[in-house]
């Protein structure tokens, strides 16, 4: 305890120097913690966005031609396929009154909601009756509803599609959420609007562009791909979206790691500043060191004094940086409506790094102070 009181007194004698050194560490620690928090948020946001868009199974498409209803039946019987949802995908202008929006038009069946993760805001999904009756009904996403009607609740309204040089009218029976709102907020008008309608409403004998497949998770993706190619007897491309999602998560994690390493460079620079300040302190206090040794202080006592001083400077800056990171992340979450949090593990690592940083960069100045001979120190 005597050591701590003495060290605090010494630090207070040079308030400005101590403050500037700790402030440098504060900025470095806050930067690293915030980079980690933003990286965690980004990885989580991408994962939720991909899940919300249904990117969690397989997509089958023909390398040439298309897939007909007979082939859809064969695909659904392949072992390991839990659900099969054929789709036709096209782009079209969607009209309502004097407004028109370019949208991606999906021709789907009643199984689509089992494969693609829709979040229904109002109304209902496309059902089997709509498919059988070639119903001119549709679901639109939140983006399209707001663009055309200025409101999310567009159930009962009518939209018109430009299909093959002909205009077709569709009644809106449901509105689904646009992803989780993250891509929409980041990309704005660049993010496409979606319209979902029964595939039978576009043509009597549909040829599908793609088939969305939901797997049971028991059969490996490679085996499923082989089975599907064998069943259809023609060249098809099977995309494993789960693996694509894993690759994207790995990329996000790599970017976060690189940014964290860049932030760690500032920690290293702060450590150098601690060493520099401590060397200056040793030079200024050589007589004090000589007096202490003359009255019986050991080398280990001198070493401990300066080492603790270095650790306290580092720890003070780290605590301030941690507090700043927590305040900034909390404020950003409250103002932007997102969840950016500094994890308790990151805080623990920051405190551990602070002690290590202070000890590592303070050991040389402390050893130099402890190595002075009393007579030599008193003469300076």
**DSSP letter, residue 225:** H
- Distance between CA 301 and CA 282 in Å, rounded? 14
Query: pLDDT per residue over 280-337, tens digit each?
Result: 887 877 777 777 777 777 788 778 878 888 888 888 888 898 899 888 888 887 887 6
Mapping DSSP to helix (H, G, I), strand (E, B) and coil, where does residue 81 land? strand
Q: Which residues contact 265 (CB under 8 A, 6 or more apart)?
A: none
Please state, in angstroms and rounded to a whole number, the distance separating the CA atoms of residues 366 and 275: 10
52 or 5: whose pLDDT is higher? 5
Tokens of 114: 């089992």
| CB contact at 8 A, 106 and 195 | yes
Helices marked H in 174-240: 182-187, 221-232
Q: Is the whole model's pTM more than 0.75, yes or no?
A: no
Q: Provide DSSP, 93-137.
A: EEEETTEEEEEEEEEE-TTHHHHS---EEEE----HHHHHTT--E
Give pLDDT tens digits for 71-127: 888 888 888 887 788 888 888 889 887 788 888 888 888 888 777 767 889 999 999
Lowest mean pLDDT among 166-180, 249-263, 268-282, 322-336: 249-263
DSSP-derived secondary structure for 359-372: HHHHHHHHHHHHT-
């Amino acid at each position: 305890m005597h050591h701590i009181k003495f060290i605090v007194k010494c630090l207070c004698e040079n308030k400005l120097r101590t403050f500037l050194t700790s402030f440098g560490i504060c900025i470095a620690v806050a930067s690293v913690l915030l980079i980690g928090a933003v990286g965690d948020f980004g990885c989580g946001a991408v994962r939720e966005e991909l899940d919300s868009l249904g990117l969690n199974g397989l997509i089958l498409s023909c390398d040439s031609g298309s897939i007909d209803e007979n082939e859809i039946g064969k695909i659904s019987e392949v072992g390991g396929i839990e659900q099969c949802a054929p789709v036709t995908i096209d782009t079209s202008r969607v009209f309502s009154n004097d407004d028109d929006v370019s949208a991606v038009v999906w021709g789907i069946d009643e199984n689509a909601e089992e494969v693609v993760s829709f979040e229904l805001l109002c109304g209902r999904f496309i059902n089997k009756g709509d498919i059988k009756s070639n119903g001119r009904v549709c679901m639109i996403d939140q983006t399209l509803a707001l663009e055309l009607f200025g409101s999310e609740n567009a159930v009962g309204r009518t939209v018109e599609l430009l299909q093959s040089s002909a205009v077709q009218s569709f009644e809106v029976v449901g509105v689904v959420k646009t992803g989780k709102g993250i891509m929409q907020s980041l990309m704005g008008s660049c993010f496409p609007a979606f319209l979902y309608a029964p595939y039978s409403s576009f043509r009597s004998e549909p040829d599908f562009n793609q088939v969305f497949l939901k797997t049971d998770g028991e059969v490996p993706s490679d085996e499923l791909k082989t089975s599907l190619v064998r069943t259809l007897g023609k060249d098809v491309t099977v995309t494993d979206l789960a693996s694509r999602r894993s690759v994207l998560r790995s990329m996000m994690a790599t970017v976060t790691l690189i940014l964290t390493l860049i932030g760690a460079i500032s920690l290293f620079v702060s450590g150098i500043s601690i060493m520099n300040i401590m060397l200056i302190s040793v030079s200024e206090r050589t007589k004090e060191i000589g007096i202490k040794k003359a009255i019986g202080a050991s080398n280990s006592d001198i070493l401990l004094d300066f080492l603790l001083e270095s650790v306290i400077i580092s720890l003070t800056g780290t605590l301030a940086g941690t507090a700043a990171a927590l305040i900034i992340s909390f404020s950003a979450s409250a103002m932007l409506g997102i969840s950016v949090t500094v994890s308790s593990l990151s805080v623990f690592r920051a405190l551990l790094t602070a002690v290590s940083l202070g000890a590592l960069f303070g050991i040389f100045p402390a050893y130099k102070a402890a190595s002075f001979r009393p007579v030599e120190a008193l003469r300076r």
